[in-house]
Structure 1
Amino acid sequence: MHEKRAAGEDNSEALAPVQEQSDGVPVDDRFLLQSLMDHIPDSIYFKDEKGRFIRINRAKADRSGLASTDDAVGKSDFDFFAPEHARKAWADEMEIMQTREPLVESEEHLIWSSGLERWVSTTKLPLQRQDGKVVGTFGISRDITKLKQTERALGAAKEVAETANRAKSEFVANMSHEIRTPMNGVIGMAELLLDTELSSVQREYTQAVLESGEALLGLLNDILDFSKIEAGKIELDPAAFDIRDSIGTMMKSLAARAHHKGLELAYHFDPMIPEIVVGDAGRLRQILINLVGNAIKFTEQGEVVVAVNVDPQTADTQNDQNISLKFAVTDTGIGVPQDKLDTIFAEFEQADKSTTRKYGGTGLGLAIASRFVELMGGRLAVQSEFGRGTTFSFVVQLPIGVRETSNKSQLNPESLHGLRVLVVDDNQTNRRILQETLQNWGIQPQAVSNAKDAFEQVKLAVEQGTPFQLVISDVNMPEIDGFGFVESLRHDSQVAETTVMLLTSGMRSGDLPRCEELNVATHLMKPVKQSELLRAISHAVGLDAHDADAPQSDSLDAASLESCSGYPNTATASPSLGSLRVLLVEDSLVNQMVAKGLMSKWGHTVSVAKNGIEAVQKSEADAFDLILMDVEMPEMDGLDATRAIRKREQNATPPQHVPIIAMTAHAMKGDEGRCREAGMDAYVAKPIRQQALLDAMTTVVAASSNRSR
């Protein structure tokens, strides 16, 4: 015992006791130190300048397999641990004594000679005498083995979760492809069938097939969006856009669904909102489509109105760079019970969960809208009174953008200043929106709610010598509809020449001939975008001076009559395309029929390749103006086929470039990028929308023509 003590006797001054007294309790450094050493569960140790133990505590002795703490005196880490750890500990201690810098919370993996294995967090400091001389080190090691085991378990669980997430993502991508491929056949063939001569019953049945296909596609898109949100793979893509035109187009896409139920669908913009803002227009439209679609579904009568205003709570803090906009979607539907208001934004939640519920759906629409709003920095809120209607609202801040310069002439509302216009509509919301819009353009509107009052106002204005230069009338009104009103004007010689524009909530096949018969200047579908209303008014009163490149009026024509289904218009081929030689690369027979039907309808000739190998061979043997390329195919997929075609074209003299459009059921994030990286010029996701395909064809063919010049 005394020999072991002798090894550390040079350091005795560092541990010299100091005697004091406090309230009868002995305050002795050795007493306090011994109490700490005997009871703390962490390992405490003191070493001399050669790394030999001077003193250790009970916990350290137990872990080292020693019967007494004195058994460690004079020994070093080499007596207890593997050489690798002992050498590192000795090196750390030499550096601490030299630099006098402590080693704080260093994690160490210890394996004792007894086989005990532990992870510890170690802190070591220089041991100094009272004169400041460093005579060794001392430290404390805290057992963190359970923490490390937990970390390992979490790491393993994370790896399992990531593997499962990858599997889920792959499953969702495969599911998307497998569902979209037959969906393309269902929707595409139904649209082609509607272009043929059908009986009324056949047309009704075909329309039902198309609507069912669209409903399934909406369900698929909801599931995919939710999966991407859950995986954290949704990102915003901000860009400058015309907010009025963008939301107006979105509203028109929902018009037929509302009009089919006899609902008024309207939207209103605060005139203080700038024309161009910067944001993710696609996600904003998706939010509103979910909210408006939900409102239409749960509203049996009345109206659905979208209002966009400068947020009143931040109006005083607006600047030239940003603007806070409040979006509100209000309906006159069934409302939401108060006990359901806190849960409707949760995934798969519905107010009515019973198997006999009247309204279907996945319960994902509001959850998706809420997540997108949060991504934009806002929060989706709801106010509702059961049985009387609901308002969903959110506020987002958007940078103010600048319209890019364009060669297209822009209509100037200043040319309409002072124009006297009579607005006729039985819906108060529509009257208010129309009046405010016209007033903002400097027009002098007057509004009435029915055809009888309108006829009297037109007559009175003529008698007073201040006739209305234009009458804008709704078609669907009680008692006397818009056509009946115009007919009464035409039969009165005093007002027979009155210029009339009709707005309708639902087009019928006989509307066009009747408009021509009654000399109606323009006939527009509600809700009317401000841009098309301005063009239509200018055209009706003979003030439109736009050139051939400017947007044309959305007056009633054959194409717009086709839009009464509520789905995208049947696309009419652009004359600038001419007759193209098209190579269709598609392994699905049904999808071949859809694409061949479209190309034939648009006047193009088609050659078919069933896989990538045939595509490469046929594109080399014959000259084509365009290639429509599927991606997922046997033997060689569309990406490899495109790479092979591009490589051959680059080696040709002179170099060639046939436009290739990806026409694929791969519609997950990143799929378009992979198609373009392979050398494709454009990307159209299945199910193929006719207008989207035609737009892509027009763009790539025009680019190819410019490239060859």
Structure 2
Amino acid sequence: MDNKRSTSPTPSERDAPAPLANGEEFDERFLLQCLMDHIPDSIYFKDAEGRFIRINRAKAERSGLPSTEEAVGKSDLDYFSSEHAEKAMADERAIMTTGQPLIESEEHLIWGSGLQRWVSTTKLPLQAKDGKVVGTFGISRDITKLKQTENALERAKEAAESANRAKSEFVANMSHEIRTPMNGVIGMAELLLDTELSPSQREYTQAVLESGEALLTLLNEILDFSKIEAGKLELDPRPFDLRDSIGTMMKSLAARAHHKGLELACHFDRELPERVIGDVGRLRQVLINLVGNAIKFTERGEVVVDLKVEDRTDDHVQIKFSVSDTGIGIPNDKLKTIFSEFEQADKSMTRKYGGTGLGLAIASRFVELMKGELAVSSVLGQGTNFSFTIGLPISEQKLTQKEQISPDSIAGLRVLIVDDNATNRRILQETLQGWGIESQTAGHARDALQQVKGAVQQGQPFDLVISDVNMPEIDGFELVQSLRHDHELAETTVMLLTSGIRSGDLPRCERLNVATHLMKPVKQSELLEAISQTVGNLPRVPQEVTVNQTRPLTSSRSLNILLVEDSLVNQMVAIGLLKKGGHTYTVANNGIEAVELSASNPYDLILMDIEMPEMDGLQATRAIRERERSTNKHTRIIAMTAHAMKGDDDRCFQAGMDAYLTKPIRQAALLNAISKLEID
């Protein structure tokens, strides 16, 4: 048996005086009284009927009593409302019945004197010496200041949310109000450019169009920034073809670069997967901003986009995106501020180059959403490089047979690349090498002629010459002319790459027997298809459908269309676009007219504005869909709206619309939307 003495105090020891360091002794009754007299929290003991047995001094003072003895025998009914007293008694009965304490219950107390307090109350069962529950006791801590702070924070939160809603509504309304006249400005300018104009008239109209486009860019940046500030910007990851998507984006910027005489190129790492999963729209937006800035701040030289694989597994790839230019550069002391809102490296740049100072801030936020970080390095007067690295899942979805052209038919070909820009030569040579093509390069036309002649004399002629058009001294057309005038070289197959479409280029290509004429920067899929059609075994397509054409789109057949639009200017724009597409039309000025006309006429399609008097586009669509339930008919409806905020497209689809276009409506976007609906 263990004979060690227990270290737990006996009852007599607990009642014994407590020794202090200076030798004084105090019994527990004295210590308890000190606690009851001086603690700022309310302490109270009650019997089984809820009557006070004892309270402390703080409780007496809050109750307006001259002494603690005044409360003995009284209950909460003597000091509080009957509602509070009944609630307190119910809690105490539950505690006495179950033996379970009530911990930190928040209560709002109102005394007869009018004093109000919030308290956090803890109540426990009061047990006699034999363990029988004879009442309750508790302690209430004053948390009034805490509740006041919480209430103030809640009011501030509600005020902030109200202000945020007001800001969002303001931005949405401003978006609508600005986009509506912009639709008229841009649309009418585009229609005017398709008419017979004098050179000066065409120049003025082009200036109007470019100004409208600039205003649209600013509006989109402000809308994106407001979404970011409101925390409403989300990514929409989907499978996409990385090379083709970025290549298409580069083509959209080609005209701006070529207008300034800049080379615009894009380099893809061979290790890049065919398809990845990500928000291609936001990724393109980042690159468009970076490339657009590079073009804006570069007067001569080149702008190059590079995609490099940093790491790759079976199902994931880390890609470093970089955009470099040979522009004016950024001072070192400004490199940290350019990603801030409304900031530019030099305030004078705003006057010279324009812009809101939001573009890089938005691009940086988008990259952060993609789990990356936008970085910059620059040498003043020599150029700038922006880069970011993001991880993307690799999509298991492969290119379809229609989308994918095998390079097997062109493997082993011998090709000469002619371009005065070293970056272009390197990118083209690396691309061809990846397809199994043997290639050589020439930096100017004279060297190219010598290499072509030498190859023929050696009995190993080139299967194809890919030449840039815009070269110093001797351009690409003059190179082809020289080849055609030499009987040994006259049959050489030539593909021309140009930085801009000039009137007469196509007829000149036909006269010189140029096999293919492509617009730079050339997408890899376009180049592969063109080479396969030219010197491989892929069937040739007519020259007029190659990528260097920019003619208007038309739909497969003429449609009978109901145009619902209350703005006269926007009616004129839409009518002009529909006429160019070969469609017939009827105009409704509001939703009521649209519902009536659609009931009595078999329209193939309805173009529906959203904001209209009397009955808006959403209400009209719901009415049309309700009527169609009994007819088993479904008329295709395309929304045309100046609203471009998050959720606007969902509202249109929920109302029963089939497609959604944001104003200003562009001809290609409208006709493309019509063709996608596949109207019988």
Query: What TM-score does the superposition give when structure 2 sets the normalisation length?
Result: 0.93
The root-mean-square deviation of aligned C-alpha atoms, in Å, is: 2.4
Deviation at 1:298, TM superposition (A): 1.7
CA 1:413 to 1:559, structure 2 compared with 1: closer, same or farther past 3 Å? Answer: closer
> Does 2:369 match 1:375?
yes
The 5 A counterparts of 1:444-523 are 444-523=438-517
Which of 574, 578, 589 in structure 1 is aligned with 2:568? Answer: 589
Q: 1:355 to 1:378 in 2, by over 3 A?
A: closer
Distance 1:466 1:138 in 2: 106
Does 2:602 correspond to 1:623? yes
Give the percent of matched residue pairs that are identical in Structure 1 and Structure 2. 72
Q: Is the CA contact 1:512–1:557 (under 8 Å) kept in the aligned structure 2?
A: no
Shift of 1:118: 0.5
Q: Indicate whether 1:358 and 2:352 are aligned.
A: yes
Q: 1:127 to 1:626 in 2, by over 3 A?
A: same
CA shift for structure 1 position 338: 2.2
CA distance in 2, matches of 1:89, 1:81: 10
CA distance in 1, matches of 2:255, 2:125: 82
The residue type equivalent to 1:230 in the other structure is E
Q: Deviations over 1:430-485 (max 9, x none)?
A: 11111111111111121222222222111111122211111111122222222222
The separation in 2 between residues aligned to 1:393 and 1:102, in whole angstroms, is 61
- How far did 1:609 drift? 1.5
Which of 510, 529, 552 lines up with 1:571 in the alignment? Answer: 552
Structure 1's unaligned 5+ residue stretches are 1-12, 547-551, 562-568
| 1:685 Cα deviation after fit | 1.5
Are the structure 2 counterparts of residues 334 and 14 from structure 1 closer, same or farther at C-alpha, using a change threshold of 3 Å?
Answer: farther
Partner Cα distance (2:247, 2:227) in 1: 27
The residue type equivalent to 1:18 in the other structure is A
SS of equivalent residue, structure 1 residue 358: helix
Q: Give 2:33's aligned amino acid.
A: Q
- Match for residue 648 of structure 2? 671
- Alignment partners' CA distance in 2, 1:52 and 1:622: 84
Query: Is the contact made by 1:474 and 1:482 (CA closer than 8 Å) also made in structure 2?
Result: yes
Q: 1:74 to 1:669 in 2, by over 3 A?
A: same
Could you tell me which amino acid in structure 1 is paired with residue 665 of structure 2?
Answer: I
1:530 Cα deviation from its structure 2 partner: 0.7
Alignment correspondent of 1:527? 521
Give CA-to-partner distance per residue, 1:149-176, whole Å, 9 cap, x none: 1222222222222222222222222211
Deviation of 1:44 (Å): 2.5
Cα distance, 1:570–1:608 mapped onto 2, change above 3 Å: farther
Q: Cα offset for 1:214?
A: 0.7
Matched, 1:164 2:163: yes
Counterpart in the other structure of 1:21: 19
Residue range with higher mean Cα deviation, 404-413 or 533-542: 404-413
Letter aligned with residue 381 of structure 1: A
Q: Could you list the per-position Cα deviations for residues 381-431 of structure 1 after superposition, in whole angstroms to 9, with x for gaps in the alignment?
A: 222233322222222221111335746273101221111111112222211
Shift of 1:354: 4.5
* Alpha-carbon shift at residue 108 of structure 1 (Å): 0.7
Q: 1:515 to 1:31 in 2, by over 3 A?
A: farther
Amino acid at match of 1:171: F
Post-superposition offset of 1:621: 3.1
**One-letter code of the match for 1:674?**
R
Partners of 1:509 and 1:411 in 2: CA distance: 31
**Residue equivalent to 1:543:** 537
Offset at residue 75 of structure 1 (A): 3.1
How far apart are the structure 1 equivalents of 2:319 and 2:350? 39
Moved more, 44-53 or 274-283: 44-53
CA distance in 2, matches of 1:538, 1:27: 104
For residues 51-62 of structure 1, what are the structure 2 equivalents within 5 Å? Answer: 51-62=50-61
Q: Where does residue 4 of structure 1 map in the other structure?
A: none
Q: Is the 8 A contact 1:14 1:129 kept in 2?
A: no
| 1:120 CA displacement | 1.0
Q: What residue in structure 2 maps to residue 605 of structure 1?
A: 584
C-alpha distance in 1 between matches for 2:615 and 2:350: 48
Q: Is the 8 A contact 1:269 1:308 kept in 2?
A: yes
Aligned to 1:566: none
**2:255 corresponds to:** 256
- Which residue identity is paired with 2:534? A
| Aligned ranges 1:110-509 → 2 under 5 Å | 110-128=109-127, 132-311=131-310, 315=311, 318-354=312-348, 357-403=351-397, 406=400, 408=402, 410-509=404-503
Deviations 1:335-357 (A, max 9, x none): 22222222222221112225974
Measure how far apart 1:648 and its partner are: 2.9
Change (3 A) 1:137 1:385: farther
1:3 is matched with: none
SS at match of 2:161: helix
Distance 1:54 1:224, change over 3 A: same
Query: Post-superposition shift, 1:109?
Result: 0.5
Q: Give the structure 1 partner of residue 629 of structure 2.
A: 650
SS at match of 2:247: helix
Partner of 1:699: 676
In the alignment, the residues of structure 1 paired with residue 403 and residue 279 of structure 2 have an alpha-carbon distance, to the nearest angstrom, of: 27
Contact between 2:256 and 2:295, CA under 8 Å: does it hold in 1? yes
Counterpart for residue 681 of structure 1: 658
SS at match of 1:254: helix
Given that 1:14 and 1:130 are in contact with CA atoms closer than 8 Å, whether structure 2 keeps it comes out as no
Report the CA distance between 1:107 and its aligned residue.
0.8
Secondary structure of the corresponding residue to residue 467 of structure 2: strand
Cα displacement (A) at 1:203: 1.6
1:300–1:556 Cα change, 3 Å: farther
CA distance in structure 2 between the aligned counterparts of 1:68 and 1:524, rounded to whole angstroms = 100
Are 1:633 and 2:632 an aligned pair? Answer: no
Are the equivalent residues in 1 in contact too, given 2:265–2:305 (CA < 8 A)? yes
Give the counterpart letter for 2:660 in structure 1: Y
Does the 8 Å CA contact 1:571/1:694 hold for their aligned counterparts? no
Cα 1:341/1:356, change in 2 over 3 Å? closer
Aligned counterparts of 1:607 and 1:680: Cα–Cα separation in 2: 19
CA distance in 2, matches of 1:14, 1:608: 102
Q: How many Å apart are 1:580 and its aligned residue?
A: 2.1
**Change in CA separation of 1:415 and 1:64 when aligned onto 2, cut-off 3 Å:** same
- CA offset digits 1:541-589 (Å, max 9, x no partner): 142148xxxxx68x6779845xxxxxxx452313x22x22222111111
Alpha-carbon spacing, 1:621–1:356, altered in 2? closer, same or farther (3 Å): closer
Q: Which moved more, 1:454-463 or 1:476-485?
A: 476-485
Cα distance in 2, alignment partners of residues 40 and 444 from structure 1: 92
Question: 368-377 or 688-697: which moved more?
Answer: 368-377
Query: C-alpha displacement at 1:135, in angstroms?
Result: 4.4
- Report the alpha carbon displacement of residue 72 of structure 1 after superposing the two structures with TM: 2.9
Aligned residues: 669
Question: In 2, Cα distance between the equivalents of 1:524 and 1:31?
Answer: 100
Corresponding position: 1:65 with 2:59: no
| CA shift digits 1:514-550 (9 cap, x unpaired) | 222222111111111110010111122142148xxxx
**Alpha-carbon offset, residue 610 of structure 1:** 1.3
Q: How does 1:19-58 map to 2 (within 5 A)?
A: 19-24=17-22, 25-58=24-57
User: SS of 2:352's equivalent?
Assistant: coil
Q: Unpaired segments of 5 or more residues in structure 2?
A: 1-10
Q: Report the Cα distance in structure 2 between the residues aligned to 1:522 and 1:226, rounded to whole angstroms.
A: 43
Amino acid at match of 2:430: E
Q: Which amino acid aligns with 2:620?
A: A
Question: Following the alignment from structure 2 to structure 1, what is the Cα–Cα distance between the partners of residues 551 and 136?
Answer: 85
SS at match of 1:268: strand
Residues 149 and 263 (structure 1), Cα distance of their counterparts in 2 relative to 1, 3 Å cut: same
